[in-house]
Amino acid sequence: MSKMNIMRKTLLLLIFTALIFQQAFTQGAYLPFNRDYYHLIERYEILNGDMNPIFHTGFKPYRRDHVAEYLEQYLAEKSNLIQSSADRFNLEYLTNDNWEFASEETMNSDNPFLKKLYKKPSDFFHYRDELFDIHVNPVLYLSGGIEQGQDNFRFRNSRGLELRGSIDRKIGFYTYLTTTQTVFPSWIRNYTEANGAVPGEGFWKDYDSEGYGYFSAMGHVSFDIGKSIQAQFGHDRNFVGEGYRSVILSDFSNPYVFFKLNTKIWKFNLTNLFSQMTADVIYNGRRPTDGRYPQKWFSHHRLGINLGRKLNIGVFESVMANQFDWNYLNPVIFYRWVEHQLGTPDKVMLGFDGKWNFMQGMQLYGQFALDEFVFNEFFGIDGKNSSRNKHAIQVGYKYINAFKISNLDFQLEYNQARPYTYQEKFEYQAFNNYRTPLAHPLGANFREVIGILRYQPIPRLQVNATGFYQFFGADPNADVNFGGDLLKNRLVTNTGLGLFGHTIGQGVENRVVMGNLNLSYMIKQNLFIDLNQSYRRRTAQNLDSPEVDLFTQVSLRMNMVRQEFNY
């Protein structure tokens, strides 16, 4: 029996055991990770200044029943902070979106369609009794855009279905299915062609001359093992941290199968994630066709603690292995010790993240991910800029109701990763999934500054202005490895630099400046019309003149996350 088969059976055994011992606690499915939506939830914690007592925000996504409980508690205790009409609208919107967990009756639709549909503003159809709860919604994303200097029309056409609910109030479930045909802006198409995978989707097929077609499916079941332990088994993405990016684990790659345990006791929160991912499939200029794609095993755990009312610190470690090993199923073991004892070359990363609500309405946050570290080479004069000192850093700041202007929120973030961070010298152990990075879209060997301004001048209108500057090093050809491309072998560099003298931006220097302005108007609950204008300018040592892209797009979306092209 192969180790992958053992792994699958072990996962099923864990889930079956958890279901046997699960008790009668109210259960909710998880909310899809949506930066705009999650910002509305998280801004109230920063306004309040105290840590969220219901759930830790350092590991996403969140459960619907937890969000509903937090909103009710916030309304009861901090109603004095709800001063603007936009704030009242947002709280009503979030409560209606999770109405099945509200302790009080939420708003009903004035005129349900055919008396059965849209009886609640958030649900196309729902049915609820003591044993079974189901909510069904259509999913739609229609967009069209024009890119300066490009002949073909840019568009997206996504249609699908979203379904969630619970059984016996004990087991929550969620399903999301869409099919998409799209033509990306030119810089996204270039990224897709270089990596051989559509970011966030993985497998794709050609559509016309420049487009892609793909089918998306995500889903999970969730249940409580005890009052303090929650479990989730699904096929989706996860996100660690408080930032726009994450240097630990982000939502950039395509979904993967996982089993997650979340244990919350007092001020401590331990999250264990066990998953199977797709390794680097053989690629020769187009998508792979025949044969089963190779798989790899990923395990991650994070322990978070609230220190007082203002500070949260989380420590993590993760391991990427090319084959399953029972030792990594231990939810409380130190992976580095296991890896040493096994004598394996599995890739282990560790580090920490944190946030500090140092003033009412203001938050500092950050992350540090350590891939490899040699003390003498890091601190010694002769070992300056060793290729074996690999780490990534994030530092960020959030300001809610900036300059005392209601619903004007500001965020500033800095990210960097040294060359060769996340790469590995052994097959299938780099920190990626289906040829796309698990952390930052640029992989490694970069610096980045991001500024985000969010403003809600009237309840239904959201204005989002995002700008960023990126400095990174690229490889001149496929045979050279300067440390940014995670698909390349860590030992094969061909740079001529040796062990020392490696700095961020080495290789072909690239600089990208991009600005993105988006206006989203909510017509009805979770039905939006978006107007987007993007400007992108790239300069590089191997370019005679800058590449400048102007992209204008109009979108209509229902129950879908707003698509962004900020990389």
Q: Which residues pair with 127 in a beta bridge?
A: 134
Residue of 279, 272, 354, 349 lying closest to 318 (CA atoms): 349
Burial class of 151 by CB neighbour count within 10 A (0 to 12, 13 to 18, 19+): exposed
pLDDT score, position 339: 58
Distance between CA 277 and CA 295 in Å, rounded?
6
Q: What is the pLDDT of residues 376-392, one digit of tens each?
A: 777 665 557 888 889 99
AA identity, residue 41: I
| Secondary structure of residue 55 in the 3-state scheme | coil
| Secondary structure of residue 404 in the 3-state scheme | helix
Contact between 28 and 62 under an 8 Å Cβ cutoff? The reply is no
Q: What is the pLDDT of residues 124-182, one digit of tens each?
A: 999 998 889 999 999 999 999 999 988 889 999 999 999 999 998 899 999 999 999 99
Span 12-26, average pLDDT: 52
Q: In 10 A of CB 285, how many CB atoms?
A: 6
Q: In 10 A of CB 459, how many CB atoms?
A: 17
Span 544-550, average pLDDT: 94
Cis peptide leading into 457, omega within 30 of 0? no
Q: Which residue has the higher pLDDT, 460 or 206?
A: 460
**pLDDT confidence band for 315 (50 / 70 / 90):** very high
pLDDT score, position 345: 65
- Answer yes or no: CATH 2.40.160.130 is held by domain 24-110+145-558: yes
Helix (H), strand (E) at residue 272: strand 268-278
Q: Which residues make Cβ contacts (< 8 Å) with residue 560, sequence separation at least 6?
A: 139, 140, 141, 158, 178
pLDDT greater than 70 at residue 340: no
Span 212-230, average pLDDT: 93
Span 249-263, average pLDDT: 95
Q: Count how many residues are written for the chain.
A: 567
Q: What is the pLDDT of residues 64-93, one digit of tens each?
A: 999 999 988 877 777 777 779 999 999 999
Q: What is the DSSP letter of 109?
A: P
Span 183-205, average pLDDT: 89
Could you give the count of Cα atoms lying within 13 Å of 296 in the half-sphere of its Cβ? 22
Could you give the count of Cα atoms lying within 13 Å of 350 in the half-sphere of its Cβ? 11
